[in-house]
Structure 1
Amino acid sequence: MVFLTIANLIRCRGPDEFWRKRKIFRLAAHYIGRRRNCYSVAVRNVHHALVYATKARRLKKQDMKDLWDTRISAACEQHNITAFSMREGLERSNILLDRKSLSDLAAWEPKTFQCLAAVASRKLHLDGFIDGTDQKAPTGKNLNLDNVILDDWLKEKK
């Protein structure tokens, strides 16, 4: 484009505006109607969508934590131990597993989770720990700890 006067050059908005608008229109490409074609409408809707996407990332993390806690507490109730006691017993036994790992074990490896519950229960019994946080007693079956040889290992870790 050839400008004969400096006034025409100043009035030209240049490539910056084109690329700025193009970025918004690309984000609004899947919208319907004026929300995708009209810049002033598209920019509002894109900004709203970006705000919701930012909030959703935090909510997704919180939802996953809630799901993991629900799975752990349900599996602990089956083995007659509270989730707090389970975590405390595992921590005292130097078994450091996070929520996600315990949740996966509870869902996909029930025998492994049962052994972890037995280890936690035995360690809390040896330490004389009393769980006063949960007023609701678990309704699961009592663990048969006769065939689990843990006493020597748990006593040496003390």
Structure 2
Amino acid sequence: MTSFSYKKIFKLAKGFYGKGKNCISVAAPRVDRALQAAYKERKLKKRLMRRSWIISINSAVREHNMPYSRFIYGLNHSNIEIDRKILSELCKNEPYSFKAVVDEIKLQTGLSAEDRPRDLESFNKGVDLGLIVLPGMPKPSLEENTSRPIEKEFKWREDFIPKYSKPIRPSQEAMDKMKKNGVWESDWDDDEFWAK
């Protein structure tokens, strides 16, 4: 527990709920716990800030058809020295400057080959079905969207076993091997068990 004077404990406990602000036996442990939490959060703050920078950079870079990992790879292999904090500020407040940085990285490292949609066939299929509307195309009405069934081909797998089905009888070789290793269950020998 804290070894502060009463005056300092009450100063730190200012604003606590109930007796936590004016009763020393309640305030001292609460202040102690609050100081521990503050210590921990000072360490976590750095991680959380870096995580928020990465999230904003990732969303901004994907607008330029480039994943975050390739962008950081290009940044490390170019002569541009900008940290994530500045990059996140650029992508939020200066999108044109951020685009210039992305273009320069593509130019220096030759990552422009990544600048393409990943799955063009499914994209074109979605456009043909009317699920994806390209710029300039008329938007489908609400009735059209709700009436159109989603056509998905159902394929029955041959090796599919329903959840509560009878277990598959192992081959004779597998049974001999399990008997040899000592992992054999006696009711598997019983033909009546398999007849059920």
Q: Which amino acid in the other structure matches residue 47 of structure 2?
A: Q
- Name the CA shift for 1:57/1:72 in 2 (closer, same or farther; >3 Å): same
Structure 1 unaligned blocks of 5 or more: 1-16, 140-158
Q: In 2, Cα distance between the equivalents of 1:63 and 1:89? A: 24
Q: In 2, Cα distance between the equivalents of 1:32 and 1:87? A: 47
2:43 to 58, 79, 82: 58
- Name the CA shift for 1:124/1:78 in 2 (closer, same or farther; >3 Å): same
RMSD: 2.8
- Name the CA shift for 1:79/1:138 in 2 (closer, same or farther; >3 Å): farther
| Equivalence for 2:93 | 108
| Equivalence for 1:91 | 76
Higher RCO (Cα < 8 Å, 6 or more apart): 1
Per-residue CA deviation, residues 21-62 of structure 1 (Å, 9 max, x unaligned), is 211111112223321222121100101111111222223222
User: Equivalent residues in 2 for 1:63-78 (5 A)?
Assistant: 63-78=48-63
Tell me by how many angstroms 1:84 deviates.
Answer: 2.1
2:108 to 114, 120, 123: 123
Q: In 1, Cα distance between the equivalents of 2:105 and 2:98? A: 10
| Equivalence for 1:44 | 29
The alignment partner of 1:24 has SS state of: helix
The higher radius of gyration belongs to 2
1:28 to 2, 10, 13: 13
Q: Which amino acid in the other structure matches residue 97 of structure 2?
A: T
The alignment partner of 2:17 has SS state of: coil
Q: In 1, Cα distance between the equivalents of 2:14 and 2:77? A: 55
| Count of residues in Structure 1 that have an aligned counterpart in Structure 2 | 116
Normalised TM-score (structure 1):
0.63
Contact 1:88–1:120 under 8 Å retained in 2: no
The alignment partner of 2:5 has SS state of: helix
Report which of the two has the higher share of helix.
Answer: 1
